[in-house]
């Protein structure tokens, strides 16, 4: 029981201190992005699934570059989780979701390197939901500062 209490206390201390669920969502998305970035440095398999129409174009250099881009977005979103009331950080985070949404939808619809499957739908859904959520909550988080 003490271990469970310790874990709960650690989790509470680690979570962002702010009203609403958006900061926690930012932390969840940042954590998932960190995993994705690490896998880009260790294997090509998941990235090849993302670019399923052209998996032969996924090479170690491209995967590492994508991993670096992904870890950069993870840092932005993690920072936003803890600084959700700072306008500059909030704006940069919104832009990071816009970039992600633009990238994945353009790979799907324009460049046709992706298929309409789970690996591409996941970042499209996360980026679009996050983008809309942040825009709708803009005044809520930025007037609380």
Sorted by where each begins, the domain ranges of the chain are 2-142
Q: How confident is the model at residue 13 (pLDDT cuts 50, 70, 90)?
A: confident
Q: Of 104, 90, 119, 115, give the one whose Cα is nearest residue 20.
A: 90
pLDDT > 90 fraction of the chain, expressed in percent and rounded: 85
CA–CA separation, 107 and 124 (whole Å): 11
pLDDT digit string, tens, across residues 67-116 = 999 999 999 999 999 999 999 999 999 999 999 999 999 999 999 999 99
| Stated length of the chain | 145
Neighbours of 36 (CB within 10 A): 20
Exposed / middle / buried, residue 22 (Cβ in 10 Å: 0-12, 13-18, 19+): buried
For the entire predicted model, the pTM comes to: 0.90
Residues contacting 47, CB < 8 A, separation 6+: 39, 40, 58, 62, 63, 66
């Amino acid at each position: 029981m003490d271990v469970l209490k310790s874990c709960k206390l650690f989790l509470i201390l680690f979570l962002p201190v702010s009203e609403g669920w958006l900061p926690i969502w930012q932390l969840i998305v940042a954590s998932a992005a960190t995993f994705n970035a690490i896998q880009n440095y260790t294997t090509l398999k998941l990235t090849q699934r993302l670019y399923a129409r052209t998996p032969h174009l996924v090479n170690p250099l491209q995967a590492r570059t994508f991993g670096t881009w992904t870890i950069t977005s993870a840092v932005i979103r993690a920072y936003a989780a803890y600084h959700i009331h700072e306008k500059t950080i909030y704006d940069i985070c919104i832009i990071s979701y816009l970039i992600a949404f633009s990238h994945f939808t353009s790979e799907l619809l324009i460049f046709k390197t992706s298929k309409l499957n789970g690996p591409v739908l996941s970042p499209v859904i996360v980026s679009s939901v996050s983008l809309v959520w942040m825009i709708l909550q803009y005044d809520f988080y930025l007037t609380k500062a």
